Amino acid sequence: MFFHIVLERNMQLHPRHFGRNLRENLVSKLMKDVEGTCSGRHGFVVAITGIENVGKGLIRDGTGFVTFPVKYQCVVFRPFKGEILEAVVTMVNKMGFFAEAGPVQIFVSNHLIPDDMEFQSGDMPNYTTSDGSVKIQKDSEVRLKIIGTRVDATEIFCIGTIKDDFLGVINDPAAA
């Protein structure tokens, strides 16, 4: 699920950036630092959409670095248990398959794949129904449901299922 929230961060800026475009430098450094990171609490920071305010800078003794408290708006993505996501399959093996929904990785074990789909090994390993009409392989797009999340301080990993109504392949690259 996506959220638009305000976060705060203390930015350290090198003295060489002090000048006319200090603020631009600060913002670009913030984007570089923050976007794409993951915190267990808020999820993945997808994008910074704006700066709320920049507080007073504090010059560090010895280094000359200046610390600015920056409040910024950002879009975060946090997967929840029970959430339905669309994801791209990245890897298929005997144990199940891995998929990615943006930054989050999801594992679907073979027990959570419908019983009528069987693993086919080969140079393009895949899960296929007996009539061959549905095939899950690398780069397939699947709709899945998250049934468990593992949230570490800097990492979120999910397990999902496609063994439910309206879940499964939504777009097959091989067919296209």
Structural element, H or E, at residue 156: strand 156-161
Residue 161 within binding range of other proteins, rule CB under 8 A: yes
Residue 137 within binding range of other proteins, rule CB under 8 A: no
Number of residues that bind other proteins (CB under 8 A): 25
Cβ atoms of residues 92 and 136 within 8 Å:
yes
Structural element, H or E, at residue 92: strand 84-93
Least Å distance, CB 36 to other proteins, is 18
Find the part of the chain contacting other proteins (CB under 8 A) among 44-52, 105-113, 132-140, 166-174.
Answer: 105-113
Cβ atoms within 10 Å, residue 30:
20
Least Å distance, CB 46 to other proteins, is 21
Least Å distance, CB 175 to other proteins, is 24
Question: Distance (Å, rounded) from C-alpha 134 to C-alpha 124?
Answer: 15
Nearer to other proteins, 71 or 138 (CB): 138
Work out the burial of residue 79: count CB atoms within 10 Å of its CB; fewer than 13 is exposed, 13-18 middle, 19 or more buried: buried
Q: Binding residue for other proteins (CB under 8 A) from 95, 124, 170, 174?
A: 95
Residue 99 within binding range of other proteins, rule CB under 8 A: no
Residue 163 within binding range of other proteins, rule CB under 8 A: yes
With b meaning 16 or more CB within 10 Å and e meaning fewer, what string describes 126-139?
Answer: bbbeeeeebbbbbe
Binding residues (CB under 8 A) for other proteins: these are: 91, 93-96, 98, 105, 107, 109-112, 115, 118, 121, 125, 147-150, 157, 159, 161, 163-164
